[in-house]
């Protein structure tokens, strides 16, 4: 009897699907721990949390319609520990499920690494272009840590490229909109204009810090 060595089709397809998913996640930079940061795990425990959740949910629902427009981005800023990073990642996970390629940029780590490698022109352009070109960019904790001129220059190159090309950003930052503008008006006002329709500024009030709940 001739032996049939063919692999069952379904299994090989699933393997390929899993490999593809793994590589998509790796590219996005979102890790396994962060996969718990979903909409369903986000409690509406106070007014600020509801505002954050509703705005992020509306952004997801309307994204297809607005993605190529001037105001195609999301800004969550203000009070520390109020769930800004959590809900930003929830939006990113939602997009990844729909095959919208989001790249996660933990601001402080990425800027530090880019600055350390600044003399390597090839590394620099490659690192920057990943954040300039991706379909959606999530900048987490914008302007965290000490800021100097090179920090501003790097983030300006990224934001300005995306601004000029109508590419969406999701931004989380502990600073108010006024403080973002004060750091750098060029960067701040571009972000503000892009995020105008989906911006939440969470009032600085320790009662809005979920970590202390």
Ligand X SMILES: Nc1ncnc2c1ncn2[C@@H]1O[C@H](COP(=O)(O)OP(=O)(O)OP(=O)(O)O)[C@@H](O)[C@H]1O
Of 23-31, 36-44, 62-70, 160-168, which part binds ligand X (CB under 6 A)?
A: 36-44
In whole angstroms, what is the distance from residue 81 CA to residue 41 CA?
15
Bridge partners of 137, per DSSP, are: 103, 169
The contact mask relative to ligand X for 111-150 (x = CB under 6 A, - = no) is: ------------------------------x---------
Of 82-90, 115-123, 175-183, 188-196, which part binds ligand X (CB under 6 A)?
A: 82-90
Smallest distance, ligand X to C-beta of residue 93, A: 13
Tell which one of 80, 133, 152, 181 touches ligand X (CB under 6 A).
80
DSSP letter for each residue of 172-188? EESS-HHHHHHH-HHHH
List of residues 6+ apart from 175 with CB closer than 8 A? 77, 78, 142, 143, 183
43 sits near ligand X (criterion: CB under 6 A): yes
Dihedral-angle region of residue 83 (phi above 0 means left; psi in -120 to 50 means alpha; beta otherwise): left
Decide which of Mg ion, ligand X, none touches 94; Cβ closer than 5 to 8 Å per partner kind: none
Q: Which of 80, 89, 97, 104 is nearest to 207 (CA)?
A: 80
Structure tokens at 55: 């705005």
205 sits near ligand X (criterion: CB under 6 A): no
Smallest distance, ligand X to C-beta of residue 120, A: 30
What is the binding site for ligand X (CB under 6 A)?
A: 37, 41-43, 45, 49, 80-86, 141, 172, 174, 210-211
């Amino acid at each position: 009897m001739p032996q049939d060595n063919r692999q069952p089709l379904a299994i090989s397809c699933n393997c390929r699907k899993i490999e593809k998913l793994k590589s998509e996640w790796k590219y996005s930079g979102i890790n396994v721990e962060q996969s718990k940061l979903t909409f369903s795990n986000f409690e509406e425990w106070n007014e600020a949390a509801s505002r954050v959740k509703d705005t992020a949910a509306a952004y997801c629902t309307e994204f297809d319609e607005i993605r190529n427009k001037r105001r195609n981005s999301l800004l969550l800023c203000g009070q520390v520990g109020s769930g800004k990073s959590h809900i930003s990642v929830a939006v990113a996970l939602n997009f990844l499920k729909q095959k919208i390629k989001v790249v996660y940029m933990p601001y402080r780590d990425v800027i530090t690494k880019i600055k350390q490698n600044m003399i390597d022109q090839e590394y620099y352009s490659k690192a920057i272009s990943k954040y300039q070109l991706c379909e959606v960019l999530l900048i987490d904790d914008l302007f965290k840590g000490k800021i100097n001129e090179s920090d501003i220059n790097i983030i300006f190159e990224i934001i300005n490229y995306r601004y000029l090309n109508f590419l969406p950003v999701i931004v989380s930052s502990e600073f108010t909109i006024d403080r973002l503008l004060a750091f750098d008006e060029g960067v701040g006002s571009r972000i503000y204009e892009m995020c105008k329709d989906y911006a939440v500024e969470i009032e600085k009030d320790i009662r809005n810090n979920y970590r202390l709940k």
